[in-house]
A and B are shown apart, each in its own frame.
Chain A
Amino acid sequence: MSITKTTCLGAISLILSTTIVAAQDLDAMTAEELLPLAQAEGTVTVYSFTSRIGKVEAAFEAAYPGIDLQGFDISSTEQIARLSAEAQAGVTNADVVYVSDAPVVLEALLAPGIIAPYVPPRVTDRVPAEFQSPLLAQRLSTKVLMYNEEANPDGAPIDSLWDLTRDEWAGRVVMVDPLQRGDYLDLMTEIVLRSDEMAAAYEAEFGEAIDLDGAANAGEKFIMDLFANDVILVGSTDDVNAAVGGLGQDNPPVGFTSYSDRRDNEEESWALQVANDVAPAPGIIFPAVLALTAEPNNPAAARLVIDFLMGDETETGGPGLAPFYVAGDYVTRTDIPPHPDAVPLDDFTAWRVAPAETAKIRAEIGDLVLTLQ
């Protein structure tokens, strides 16, 4: 009996140790070494917060025939809820997680071990340390105030966020419901975290110190005034883009959306432009991170996808990075030149999100937004 037991235990520990070694091995492997293993796996599932996963899917399958990439466009908020539920259920559906909303991701997914970090060895020397840990950031994305440049050829129609609370902008500011999309809740949270700057901007705009009128701080006061001014909440950034950017409008609204959506101006007949000079800042800039699920079903293919998404060795990163090498997305790889059409990162005035700070008061701001709806 005891012999059988020992053998069993031995076998189990052997299996366990091989998986651990395997995971470590996989982490150290190059794309060429991963490829045959990935082809043997044959498929890989990606949860992505951007619809550009469709383009990645086509490019990946062209680059690595025989591996079926299943990409799902799921908002960050929903990914977090789904991955938590799946983890609780002990089910793993996704292999790769491509997500923004870093404040919640770190707390709700990375801390309990639902997702795991992975940095392809090929790029470790070309991505700044702050973007490799705790999770690998592929690029910086934005949620900033955009306007219609066809209707406003001389530049943004407003010069301060506080303009949005004026009567003339009632019902003409568009954004996605912050309770549905975490990026927008992060934006609201950042406005509160930057209350001092908001207070200064108020004084600059209206020539008098801000009267909080019951609000806890200038940031909260702004959010309350914005909602009181009939801000329009829509379901997706594309709705914002169409409303703000659509050509042929006499009096288009302004709205918070991704700077990089300007890339689609031509294809979609939009005239989106960023209001970079708005005081105190046009919005936020935040990392879009790549991670593995804790126990991916296709560990080699999953790593290959992340390697692919970090771009190849051509000048602008090749097909894997192509959907993201656009004006308004700031790729974290230092050897990739900045996009020529975008405001250089150093001149871009949006606030950098500090995930840990955001995480502290985010739920509170969510509740505030809930009371305003």
Chain B
Amino acid sequence: MADIAMSRQGRRVFFKQGTVLKIVVLLLLIALIVLPLIRTVLFTLRPDVIGAWGDVLSGRLSTNLFYKPLKNTMLIGVIVSTGCVLLGGFLAWLVVMTNVPYRRTIGVMATLPFMIPSFAAALAWGTLFRNDRVGGQIGWFQGLGFDVPDWLAWGMVPTLIVLTLHYFSLAFTIIAAALATVNSDLVEAAQIAGAKGRRILMGIILPVTTPALVAAGSLCFAGAVSNFATPALLGLPVRMQTLSTRLFGMIEVGQVGRGYVIGILLVIISGLFLWAGNRVVSGRRSYATITGKGGRAKRFDLRGARWPLFAVAMVFLLASTVVPVIVLLASSFAPSSANLFSGWTAHYWIGASNPSFAQGVPGIVYNADIVRALMVTLSLGLAVAFTGMIIGLLASYTTARYREGWASAAITQISFLPLLVPGIAFGAAYIAYLGAPIGPFPALYGTFALLVIASTAYLLPFSVQTGRAVIQQVGGELEESARLTGAGFLRRLGAITVPLAVRGLAAGGILIFVKIIRDLSLVVLLFTPTMPVLSVLAYRYASEGFGQFANAITVVILTISIVATLIANRLQAKSQPWLKD
């Protein structure tokens, strides 16, 4: 209200420079992102907690608390990112550069795995490959009479496979986009000079797309090392710990200090790799591939290899999309995962409580816990989509319209900071941050508000990115003419920017919605029994041996995600340049 009292002149001067806006946005981002991280670090430095650093980094516990999980984490990061770049790169090359049959289908399918939550893939793996090592139900293959060895059922190998099949689509998207922009002049020049396919690949295309490969690799690395669901579901039964499962375990049993220390170290590791990847790319800026001229090069003719390569691609694509969905769906009807396709019952969906069936747990439609979790999850998705887009819009508007000054740079940097922080560590930071009262503000532990605030902050990189894309579509001159007629900031935003950008904003909001409803790693620590969300409920059912309920819930999440994604794609008419002919 104060600014009404202010003279019109004074207000305009303020807004002209965007100072007020910058400060407001900056403070908001600091409160959402910087303070939680700082508070976590400070917590571990308290006199009664500081010993946790010693426990984790040296001494007799450190091997199992930190170094062994670290070794597993690094192994996962290196192998998964390598696998993803190879697989994603191979598929991108097929789709963009060759005349493989059904290029479009391959292109669409390759982007799908990332829409499927990674815990869904891990659950599907368990349904197929579980053996009898840890009791409970056995998987389908064991049920068919195959003797599934431990290394294939549990631990490192399945974790690597599931994560690679999850993250490769991230690599695919990045590499395909880069390949699509490779200047055809280069390729044609080589062809004229008589270079063969392999030579062109190794001599031109690979070097030119190096930045994309590095970026894809480092993003997959950061994703894989911070993934919680897959190692938790597939590794914990054989005592394979990663940093994220260790962090979760320590906080669950109340050893919070040790948990936070592990979380901080995990942030440092994942951040270091993303930063290094960035350095490699930005250090060699001479890779501009989009220039004024140049059209699409002739596609490589695969000749006899067309169908075999198509088959290879489809094996990976089916394994990462269709198979998990079918397995989860079948398993949600099958009383025993050993007989996945027989004796189906709808009990896990619509059965009433029956003491002789699944210990009296009713089907998910009648299960009050699950119905409440569905409501909480959907409300959370909507609330975060809304708050996320508002803050994303504010931040990107500020940086797009008032580019100069350190404040804008700081806003950009801070809004991308959560990318470096694994979800589970971010969740831990928020418990440290808002788990206890701050001054006059009450603690938010176990409240809906905490879930919304933490999720909004965690997804800010995406909302800011979406916001930026939207803002850039709306020409600055429209706004300038409005400002000349005396329209204030909120008026301009409400009357011009938002209406013009509403489709893009809606699409961005939906993507945020999808991201949060299928997230497990962030909410797994913020979960309280009275504020349940679907993904955590699925995880808990899975770890308590109620695979069918877990799978049925996962099918619900999947369905909502896929429908929402399709709607977003329609709204956005998403540009996928590599599919154009």
Chain A residues with CB under 8 Å of chain B are 45, 47, 51, 54-55, 58, 70, 72, 74, 77-78, 80-82, 84-86, 88-91, 93, 108, 174, 179-180, 232-236, 238-244, 246, 267, 367, 370-373
Contact = CB atoms under 8 A, between A and B. Distances in A.
B136 A238 contact: yes
Nearest to A246: B135
Closest 8 CB pairs of A and B: A243-B135, A89-B443, A89-B445, A72-B529, A81-B254, A242-B135, A93-B530, A239-B135
A55 B61 contact: no
Given A51-B359, A234-B135, A91 B61 contact: no
25 contacts: A45-B530, A54-B359, A81-B251, A85-B435, A85-B445, A88-B445, A89-B435, A90-B442, A91-B445, A91-B447, A108-B254, A174-B134, A174-B135, A179-B249, A179-B253, A232-B134, A233-B237, A234-B237, A235-B545, A236-B545, A242-B135, A244-B135, A246-B135, A367-B60, A371-B64
A243 B443 contact: no
A373 B528 CA distance: 28
Contact of A242 (B136, B237, B431): B136
* SS class, residues of chain A in contact with chain B: helix
A240 to B, nearest CB: 7
Contacts of A243: 132, 134-136
Contacts of B529: 47, 72, 74, 82, 93
A77 B253 CA distance: 6
A88 B436 contact: yes
A78 B529 CA distance: 11
A226 to B, nearest CB: 14
Given A89-B442, A239-B135, 6 more contacts: A74-B529, A77-B252, A91-B446, A93-B528, A108-B254, A236-B545
Interface string B120-151: 00000000000011111100000000000000
* SS class, residues of chain B in contact with chain A: loop
Contact of B446 (A51, A89, A108, A236): A89
Interface in B308-338: none
A341 to B, nearest CB: 19
A51 B359 CA distance: 9
B265 to A, nearest CB: 17
B60 A371 contact: yes
Nearest to B60: A371
Nearest to B372: A70
Nearest to B540: A73
A233 B253 CA distance: 16
A76 to B, nearest CB: 10
Nearest to A253: B135
Contacts of A373: 64, 239, 241
Nearest to A75: B252
Interface string B45-71: 000000000000000110111000000
A86 B135 contact: no
B488 interface: no
B560 interface: no
Nearest to B250: A179
B101 interface: no
Given A85-B445, A179-B253, A243-B136, A371 B437 contact: no
A306 B67 CA distance: 46
Contacts of A367: 60-61
A179 to B, nearest CB: 6
Contacts of A240: 135
A255 B205 CA distance: 59
A11 B435 CA distance: 32
B237 A235 contact: yes
Contacts of B543: 235-236
